[in-house]
């Protein structure tokens, strides 16, 4: 390969994660190849859809038709409000029942072992099973049971999985952070409590991870919460804007690599 291997680290963030679609769209338009992706939570979902073959435009159309009632299945709170069965079925259908190892770009999906407190990495196997685990926000989704493991959201241990992209031998790592932190948010429900708690926990983690990537793209989406599904089109546009602002820097890195 006479060019660098380029990898994306797509972070978690609920509805804010749709900004990843805008980032991918801009990279494609600039003819910047994407060779591998590692994703946590919504980053894993977008990475899976892209790896199956959906274009950014197709993913945007799917996102704009998105409604929570189509995939959320509420249950009596025991370990979570949402069992996750419907979302898993929907992912299986939309990813054409493919395996992770069949995806191009190559994809790594990150989840968290709730019992051991360890990162769990999926590089092969059923896409819907891995993504269902990766998006399982503690307290909202019932943990995904795989074998003797209880798995929850990848963001608990690795919100923007830069280290996993490096393990995929990427020469240039582009990270996309769609995290959110509001100092005095409105807390109106248990969902708000859980999401704000996770954002507080992860805020400091991201600061240390930022220096590990070659490029860090941070869409200006602080005004949107993790449940802002009515603002998907605007969130995607913010992803595009943030990626365009980093294009010159990315192209400079590519040129430097070629001159080595």
**Residue 42: partners with Cβ closer than 8 Å, 6 or more residues away:** 10, 12, 13, 14, 15, 16, 17, 18, 20, 135, 178
Q: Which of 35, 126, 153, 199 is catalytic?
A: 153
* Residue 192 known to be catalytic: no
User: CA 199, 54, 46: angle at the middle one, nearest 5?
Assistant: 10
Whether residue 180 contacts residue 13, with contact meaning beta carbons closer than 8 Å, is answered with yes
**Residue 152: partners with Cβ closer than 8 Å, 6 or more residues away:** 111, 112, 114, 133, 136, 137, 138, 141, 143, 144
CA distance 10 to 92: 20
Q: Which of 12, 40, 41, 128 is catalytic?
A: 41
* Residue 171 known to be catalytic: no
| Strand 36-40 to 106-113 pairing | parallel
**Residue 241: partners with Cβ closer than 8 Å, 6 or more residues away:** 22, 219, 220
Which residue is listed with tokens 């900004």? Answer: 19
Residue 71 CB coordination number (10 Å): 16
CA distance 161 to 41: 10
- Terminal C-alpha separation, the chain: 14
Query: Catalytic residue positions?
Result: 41, 153
């Amino acid at each position: 390969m006479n060019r660098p291997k380029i990898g994306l680290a797509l972070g978690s963030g609920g509805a804010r994660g749709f900004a990843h679609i805008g980032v991918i769209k801009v990279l494609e338009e600039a003819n910047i190849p994407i060779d591998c992706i590692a994703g946590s939570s919504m980053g894993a979902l977008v990475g899976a859809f892209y790896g199956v073959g959906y274009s950014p435009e197709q993913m945007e159309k799917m996102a704009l038709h998105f409604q929570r009632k189509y995939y959320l299945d509420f249950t009596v709170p025991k370990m979570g409000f949402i069992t996750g069965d419907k979302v898993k079925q929907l992912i299986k259908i939309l990813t054409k029942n493919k395996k992770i190892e069949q995806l191009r770009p190559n994809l790594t999906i990150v989840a968290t072992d709730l019992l051991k407190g360890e990162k769990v990495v999926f590089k092969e196997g059923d896409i819907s099973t891995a993504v269902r685990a990766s998006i399982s926000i503690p307290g909202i989704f019932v943990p995904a049971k795989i074998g003797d493991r209880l798995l929850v959201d990848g963001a608990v241990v690795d919100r923007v999985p830069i280290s996993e992209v490096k393990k995929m031998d990427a020469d240039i790592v582009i990270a996309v952070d769609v995290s959110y932190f509001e100092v005095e948010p409105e807390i109106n429900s248990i969902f708000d409590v859980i999401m704000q708690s996770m954002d507080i926990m992860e805020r400091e983690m991201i600061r240390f991870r930022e220096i590990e990537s070659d490029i860090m793209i941070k869409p200006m989406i602080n005004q949107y919460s993790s449940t802002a599904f009515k603002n998907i089109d605007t969130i995607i546009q913010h992803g595009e804007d943030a990626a365009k602002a980093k294009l010159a820097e990315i192209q400079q890195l590519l040129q430097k690599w070629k001159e080595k």
